[in-house]
Amino acid sequence: MTDPTDTLATGDRIELRFPARGDLIVLARLVTSAISARAGFDIEELEDLRLAVGELCLLTLHGSDGRSGVLCLELTVLGDAIGVVCTLERATAADVAGPEGEEIVFLSEQILDALVDEHGRESHDGFVRTWLRKRRGGHAE
């Protein structure tokens, strides 16, 4: 018998904030695993979502100096799906943008295409926001 306090339901929202450093993305992956398990995702879906959130965080950090700012991750249970929004706050742009920058973004987007149902990225005035949605019981197209 499942304890109802061990599950998450539609509308439940969890927020995680941590320094905007690539080495701390493991925190986002761990929290995502716990949330998706409690929202009823199977092990394969859980792993896809865990990997996708790590990639989403990296995509959000892309173009920043990697030494400043706060990464804010918001996970919301949406019925048969989980929505994730990742926001980079108070960050400083990288001193020099490498020529491989667009390739990195393209590769991250391809990885997300393979793992989730929907995703997007918005950037303006030093503000970066990425998001994804993964449905339970379905396959990303």
Q: Which residues of 29-39 are buried (b: 16+ CB within 10 A; e: fewer)?
A: bebbbebbbbb
Look up the domain containing 44 and give its range: 12-135
Domain assignment of residue 6, yes or no: no
**Cα–Cα distance for residue pair 86/29, rounded to 1 Å:** 12
Report which of 122, 38, 127 is spatially closest to residue 76, judged by C-alpha positions.
38
Domain assignment of residue 7, yes or no: no
Domain assignment of residue 74, yes or no: yes
Q: Any idea what the CATH number is for the domain that residue 32 is in?
A: 3.30.565.10
Count of domains observed in the chain: 1
Residue 69 contacts residue 113 (beta carbons within 8 Å): no
Domain assignment of residue 76, yes or no: yes
The reported pLDDT for the residue numbered 91 is 65
Residue 62 contacts residue 108 (beta carbons within 8 Å): yes
SS3 88: strand
Each residue's pLDDT tens digit in the chain (141 positions)?
A: 455 567 888 889 999 999 988 899 999 999 999 999 999 999 999 999 999 999 999 998 887 766 778 899 999 999 899 999 999 887 666 555 555 677 888 999 999 999 999 999 987 766 789 999 999 986 544
Domain assignment of residue 3, yes or no: no
The percent of the chain in helix, strand and coil, each rounded to the nearest 5, is 40, 30, 30
Domain assignment of residue 103, yes or no: yes
Domain assignment of residue 4, yes or no: no
Domain assignment of residue 140, yes or no: no
